[in-house]
Amino acid sequence: MKTNDLTDLAIPGTTLDVRVTPKASRNKIERDGNALRVYVTTVPESGKATAAVQKLLAKALGVPKSRLTLIRGEISRDKVFRIDD
């Protein structure tokens, strides 16, 4: 699983705009301007893809996944996460 180093974004209170592509060939994160594109291999059913995105983002940010809160986009490809204290 290859991820970019996103530790520079790991500031409490920061919101991250994320575009998700489920059922990808591999898990990866790409920066696209101010937004992030996250590719996950899981299927988009029952929140599995969202959970995979949260886990992948947390690892790249260097924060526990409990500090990432989904603000918007529970069933959408476009999601917004907030980094909590």
Output the six-digit token pair for 34: 């101010």
DSSP reduced 3-state for 2: coil
Output the six-digit token pair for 18: 């994320």
- Is the pTM for the entire model greater than 0.85? yes
Q: What is the three-state SS of 3-71? A: CCCCHHHCCCCCEEEEEEECCCCCCEEEEECCEEEEECCCCCCCCHHHHHHHHHHHHHHCCCHHHEEEE
| Res 2 pLDDT > 80 | no
- 3-40 residue pLDDT tens: 578 888 899 999 999 999 999 999 999 987 778 999 99
Output the six-digit token pair for 3: 């991820």
Domain 7-83 falls under CATH 3.30.1200.10? yes
Task: Return the higher-pLDDT residue of 2 and 8.
Answer: 8
Can you give the pLDDT at residue 3? 52
The percent of residues above 70 in pLDDT, for the chain, comes to 96
